[in-house]
Amino acid sequence: CCQIRQLDVLLLDCIFVIFTVIMEMIYLLDSRWEEERYTDGVKWKFLEHKGPVFAPAYEPIPSHVKFYYDGKHMKLSPEAEEVATFFAKMLDHEYTTKDIFRKNFFKDWRKEMTSEERAKITDLKKCDFTEMSEYFKAQSEARKAMSKEEKQKIKEENERILQQYGFCIMDNHKERIANFRIEPPGLFRGRGDHPKMGMLKRRIRPQDIIINCSKDSKVPEPPPGTKWKEVRHDNKVTWLVSWTENIQGSIKYIMLNPSSRIKGEKDWQKYETARRLKKCVDRIRAQYREDWKSKEMRIRQRAVALYFIDKLALRAGNEKEEGETADTVGCCSLRVEHIKLYPENEGQEYVVEFDFLGKDSIRYYNRVPVEKRVFKNLQLFMENKEPDDDLFDRLNTSILNKHLQELMDGLTAKVFRTYNASITLQQQLKELTTAEENIPAKILSYNRANRAVAILCNHQRAPPKTFEKSMQNLQSKIDAKRDQLADAKRELKSAKADAKVRKDEKSKKAVESKKKAVQRIEEQLMKLEVQATDREENKQIALGTSKLNYLDPRISVAWCKKWGIPVEKIYNKTQREKFAWAIDMAEEDYEF
């Protein structure tokens, strides 16, 4: 009987183990990044969602809030009033003082006016929006001063909308949608010197919207009494909703969150391409160095541009339509005026000075010594040209990328940025991390490695408005901690002296506890100092962009595992969700 029972237990155990193994296999199969990949451009088989959330309808302002033209009160039509409120809300911003902004705004505003209004309102300078502006300021104050319950209510409502519209089903998985809210109307704010700043960004209606979902899904309902522009079933694209925006005429999309399978896989693929570049980058470098000597101008230009893209992590630099956007450039679109050549500069030979506005009108300024051949080539390219002529007149991104494609499957200019960013992180981590350091110091090292990449990629930010002040605060904290440490040391000394005389248990214990206190304070001081260094070095540098878009997350995960750093210290919750695939797959010995 007993034996049988034992057998029974064994059997049960066995079944349990088998069950667990099967479940694990199912889990592995189900694990999104292990799933079978589609071929020939198919992105999904099933897609169902609830459509977009539209911007709330315009709420007219109360009649006691007045608008004045030329000092006289004027009641605006709802259409004109709405556009006026957009301007009023930006009154404190320096945009509204800019000529182009005002001109564009006024032109578009007049289009929304009734003919009577248009006849009357002919000069923006005579418009007085201050009451409107005050009203909105008061509104936002009131919102801040709301009671806990009211705030809670709003939060719950937001949560409800998120639950209803913020998710979709794509191929057996419920996925988070990135931007399910339609962009509200307002005044366009470009970055930098944008020729279209101040133009009216139209309100998007259901009849502007294209819905994309699978045929066998429940098609989202348009709001009562409205129709979608189109419902299509295109599984070769990843977007759920699209519309055409009226400023540039470009298409906007609603797509999935970075945590989704479809984005995660693409991200992984991107880093795998960069790793393939690692294997052949020596060959490619040797090749472009050869090409500097080519007898063909176009090949020399291609080779010098590629050298910049590789060495300086410049962007490709597509052509842009003149007058449609801010005047910014990348590598292939550099103009003569953007570089200066110094045969000798501060003891270095063949120095090139770059000074241009890149993406988002962020200034790129750099002085770099280059090889003699590059320098001579640049002199050649600049011969007989005006400052606003193209530096690489025989080159564009399409020519460059076609060439790259021949050197390696899937290679384009942007892969170099990914490759150089990731390899730099890996190298810097190796160089900067030392075994003896404690965790905060190791994290400082990580941030420094991250920073090296951000500098390479020129990821800048406006120094935070409160930077100086918060730096001062931190410094005074450090000073206070130093005093505290001195005190603690003094106390320890006297406790030691005391213990020497008394030689009893109690005084010995006192020494021990004082020792501990000193140690603790030392640690705290160290942490503060590390923090101060980190912050100072970070003043104008944004780490987030490279962390999110250029650094193979497996490098960071491996580093965490190697040094026993919890991954939460490096990635916050959102980042961990985005990089779930990497956290899942990277081991301590992962090499990019």
316-345 positions binding DNA, by CB under 7 A: 316-318, 320, 325-326, 328, 330
Whichever of 217 and 545 has its CB closer to DNA, that residue is: 545
Q: Which residues contact 307 (CB under 8 A, 6 or more apart)?
A: 288, 289, 292, 370, 374
533 binds DNA (CB under 7 A): no
Alpha-carbon distance of 238 to 215, in angstroms, equals: 15
Minimum Å gap between C-beta 341 and DNA is 23
Minimum Å gap between C-beta 114 and DNA is 27
- Residue whose C-alpha is closest to residue 126's, from 106, 146, 100: 106
Within the chain, what is the greatest distance between any pair of CA atoms?
104
Among 238, 420, 422, 445, binds DNA (CB under 7 A): 238
Alpha-carbon distance of 360 to 458, in angstroms, equals: 12
Minimum Å gap between C-beta 556 and DNA is 15
Among 217, 345, 401, 427, binds DNA (CB under 7 A): 401
Q: Is 27 a catalytic residue?
A: no
Angle of CA points 93, 99, 104, to nearest 5°: 90
Whichever of 384 and 572 has its CB closer to DNA, that residue is: 572
Contact 177, 168 (CB under 8 A): yes
How many helices (H) and strands (E) are present in the chain, helices listed first?
18, 15
Q: What pairs with residue 187 in β-bridges?
A: 200
The contact mask relative to DNA for 561-590 (x = CB under 7 A, - = no) is -----------xxx----------------
For residue 411, the SS3 value is coil
User: For residues 250-279, which are near DNA according to CB under 7 A?
Assistant: 250-251, 253, 255, 263, 266-267, 270
User: Active site residue: 350, 419, 446, 550, which one?
Assistant: 550
User: For residues 154-183, which are near DNA according to CB under 7 A?
Assistant: 155, 158, 178-179, 181, 183
Segment contacting DNA (CB under 7 A): 121-129, 131-139, 398-406, 445-453?
A: 398-406
Among 242, 259, 301, 426, binds DNA (CB under 7 A): 242
Alpha-carbon distance of 550 to 458, in angstroms, equals: 12
The contact mask relative to DNA for 358-377 (x = CB under 7 A, - = no) is xxxxx---------------
- Residue whose C-alpha is closest to residue 191's, from 363, 360, 327: 360
Query: Taken in order 99, 100, 105, 107, is the CA torsion positive or negative?
Result: positive
For residue 394, the SS3 value is coil
User: For residues 457-496, which are near DNA according to CB under 7 A?
Assistant: 457-462, 466, 469-470, 473-474
Contact 395, 298 (CB under 8 A): yes
User: For residues 67-126, which are near DNA according to CB under 7 A?
Assistant: none
Contact 326, 357 (CB under 8 A): yes
The contact mask relative to DNA for 8-47 (x = CB under 7 A, - = no) is -----------------------------------x----
Minimum Å gap between C-beta 454 and DNA is 8
Minimum Å gap between C-beta 17 and DNA is 39
Minimum Å gap between C-beta 35 and DNA is 17
Query: Taken in order 553, 559, 562, 564, is the CA torsion positive or negative?
Result: negative
> Which 8-state DSSP code applies to residue 513?
H
Minimum Å gap between C-beta 246 and DNA is 10
Catalytic residues: 550
